[in-house]
Amino acid sequence: MIDPSSVVGKAPPIERRVPFVVVGAGAAGVAAALEAVRAGVEVMLIDENPLDPDLMAMDVPHYFGQRMSLSARNRALMLERVIEANPGLGRADEAGVDVQLGVSVWGAFRNGPTQRELAGPVLGLANEERSWLVRYDRLLIAAGTRDVVLGFPGWQKAGVMGANGLASLTRHRVFAGRQLAVLGSGPLGLQTARQALEAGLEVVAVVEVTAELRGDPVETRRLADQGVRFYPSHTVQEASGRTGEVESVTLIRLDADLAPIAGSETEIACDTICLALGLAPNVELLALLGATLRFRSDLGGFVPETDGWLGTSAPGVFAAGDCTGVHEALVADDGVARGQGRLAGLGAALSLGAVDRARAEAVRTELGGVGARPSEPVHAYWRHWLRSSIRVGGLEVYACQCEEVTRRELIGVQPPRYLGWHSAGMSARGLGTLLRDGPINQDQIKRLTRAGMGPCQGRRCREQVALFLAEEAGVPVGQIPLPSFRAPVRPLSLQVLWPRDEPEAARDHWVSWFGIPTQFTPHWTSHVDASETTVFMGLGGESQHGGSSVEKQRELPGTGRG
């Protein structure tokens, strides 16, 4: 028997094996599922809507800002609304796709040089009750985007949220606010304002840091005619409210150098401040799978490298839709995402041998170029917002809300306040001294400051921390490497992750550390007694195989304790 305390023989049980799994039932995911199922491929389409209300309260997966109404907790109602709001789900179901709703994908695992025991590539899935594993032959990640969040004084108050969060809540009619200030006047900001008006909400301001408004002038005019007031050359001075809830936003006018003009403050009553500055591709599953990612500011940040069928560098893994790159021109038009979904679905079907190459090539030609059209670099615009906010709000603003890390603590690379640590040496340290030891490593900064280490898993701070570090270090943001993503990419409880399918071998042969009988033997004892060897680290390993290993070691020359 090979080392019974190792992973050998303990491969986790796989509940199902599916030829083609599609993650995300947006425009791209639905189109891919339909394309593949029509080619005769068995398809599972997974979508996490209706969302777990407890995750929504943690701003996962979108920045919801605690603006969910109580109905969001009514699962049956939400299921109805999710189906009603996304006609693609019904179409996929009718076409024979196995549509799994309310299921999140929290992990993606495959064998590699240091992980060889899996039966095959698997996804970790979960609903609100349990978790399980599904094996795929081909996988499409169509995971969409995340809200890009740039803080300002008071952004930790309930009522500050993101455009994706607002769109999700209004789409499912569970938005609890009434008066909205929108930050960002580009296509995303205008669409957010438009959807808010259509949902019967009041849009009290659309704020833009630049002197020029950024969106379609016709739509801007139309919104203005409907009473929406635009504030170019403004930034947020503060979100105010007495009870931890947003009650008003104070804007301040900026000069040409983004410096605030004293006396130009305007306080506007509102219950919600919606960040509509941009979106970031959701690449965490692709990162877990080891797909090559590269920085493309015109596509929102790090995006997967893909081939002519939208295959990534990870074997059998495709990517389509906004997670392959997004910009504001795509916001109002899901045609690109749909085309990408079809192409990826076709690519998966082709690689499974379900369609012949000539037909696949013909459809690909008909689809034409489906890549996201390159647009303007977006990070420079985000840096404008950040700079204005630093000039107006200073450094005592949180960079990371979960861990309550201020901008000053971030650039000082200071330990968390709860340690109460003060020393001259520590005060003399900062990003500047750290940079002398090597280029910025966000994982190192996370470790030291804890920014990005909280329950929202960095969703509300990844971009602003990277931008802030780039600003302070004086380097392009593309030079700041992506911090690591780690499973579970949805925060799931111990009870939900609990493997009800745990194999007996994993249960019975569990040791806290390696199970090498001599490893924890007190050095002053002269003999090895197998029953005592794990006294110091044998914290309840059920495995009682220590004795035989001792015998084995004694037989082997040169491995006894010398």
Partner 1 sequence: MPGAAVVVIGGGVTGLSAAWWLRRAGVDVLVLERDIVGWHASGRNGGGCTHIYSPFGLEEQKLWPQMDELLGYPTEHQPNRIRVALNEHQLTLFRRAGEIAAQRGFRTDFLSPKELKELVPIVGDNALGGTYTHYGGHANPQRTIQAYAWALQDLGGRLLQNTTVTGIQLRGGRVTGVETTRGPVGAEALVIAAGTQTGLLAAMVGARVPLAPARVEMIVTEPMPLMTRGGVDGNGLYGRQALRGNLIYGGGPHEWIDVGDMGAPELPTSPLTRNLARRLAELFPGAGHLRVIRSWAGAVENTPDGLPIVDRLASPDNVVVATMSSVGFGLSPAVGKAISELVIHGACRFADLGSVRLSRFADTPPDWRECQGWVPAPDRSALDLGVLEGSPAAG
Chain residues 124-153 in contact with partner 1, contact rule CB under 8 A = 124, 131, 133
The Cα-based distances of 253 to 145, 196, 262, 386, 419 in angstroms read 31, 25, 8, 15, 39
The helix-helix angle for 187-198 and 163-171 (nearest 10°) equals 30
Question: In which residue are the tokens 């470790």 written?
Answer: 447
Q: Which of 92, 90, 86 is nearest to 35 (CA)?
A: 92
Q: Is 488 in the site for partner 1 (CB under 8 A)?
A: yes
Q: Is 549 in the site for partner 1 (CB under 8 A)?
A: yes
Q: Is 403 in the site for partner 1 (CB under 8 A)?
A: yes
Q: By C-beta, is 255 or 529 nearer to partner 1?
A: 529
Q: Is 419 in the site for partner 1 (CB under 8 A)?
A: yes
Question: In which residue are the tokens 């560098």 written?
Answer: 313
Residue of 171, 195, 532, 547 interacting with partner 1 (CB under 8 A): 532
Q: Which residues of 20-54 are buried (b: 16+ CB within 10 A; e: fewer)?
A: bbbbbbbbbbbbbbbbbbbbebbbbbbbbbbbbbe
Query: Cβ–Cβ contacts within 10 Å for residue 130, how many?
Result: 15
Q: Is 109 in the site for partner 1 (CB under 8 A)?
A: yes
Q: Answer whether the bond into residue 50 is a cis peptide, omega within 30°.
A: yes
Is the alpha carbon torsion for 418, 421, 427, 429 positive or negative? negative
Tokens at residue 396, please?
């005592």
Shortest gap between Cβ of 503 and partner 1 (angstroms)?
9
Q: Is 394 in the site for partner 1 (CB under 8 A)?
A: no
Q: By C-beta, is 226 or 493 nearer to partner 1?
A: 493
Q: Is 116 in the site for partner 1 (CB under 8 A)?
A: yes
Q: Is 115 in the site for partner 1 (CB under 8 A)?
A: yes
Shortest gap between Cβ of 441 and partner 1 (angstroms)?
5
Q: Is 313 in the site for partner 1 (CB under 8 A)?
A: no
Q: Is 554 in the site for partner 1 (CB under 8 A)?
A: no
Shortest gap between Cβ of 318 and partner 1 (angstroms)?
20
Q: By C-beta, is 52 or 334 nearer to partner 1?
A: 52
Q: Is 560 in the site for partner 1 (CB under 8 A)?
A: yes
Q: Enumerate residues 233-292 that contact partner 1 by CB under 8 A.
A: 288, 290
Residue 421: which residues within 8 A CB-CB, separation 6 or more? 415
Residue of 3, 98, 202, 247 interacting with partner 1 (CB under 8 A): 3
Query: Cβ–Cβ contacts within 10 Å for residue 132, how many?
Result: 19
The Cα-based distances of 485 to 140, 354, 417 in angstroms read 19, 34, 25
Q: Is 450 in the site for partner 1 (CB under 8 A)?
A: yes
Q: Which of 298, 322, 296, 324 is nearest to 310 (CA)?
A: 324
Q: Is 465 in the site for partner 1 (CB under 8 A)?
A: no
Task: Name residue 123's beta-bridge partners.
Answer: 108, 134
> Distance (Å, rounded) from C-alpha 162 to C-alpha 521?
56
Residue of 426, 435, 482, 530 interacting with partner 1 (CB under 8 A): 426
Q: By C-beta, is 6 or 226 nearer to partner 1?
A: 6
Span near partner 1 by CB under 8 A; candidates 64-72, 212-220, 323-331, 497-505: 497-505
Tokens at residue 254, please?
């900026």
Shortest gap between Cβ of 275 and partner 1 (angstroms)?
23
Residue of 363, 510, 530, 547 interacting with partner 1 (CB under 8 A): 510
> Distance (Å, rounded) from C-alpha 482 to C-alpha 465?
11
Q: By C-beta, is 195 or 444 nearer to partner 1?
A: 444
Q: Is 537 in the site for partner 1 (CB under 8 A)?
A: yes
Write the binding mask 14 to 53 for partner 1: x where contact by CB under 8 A, - elsewhere: ----------------------------------------
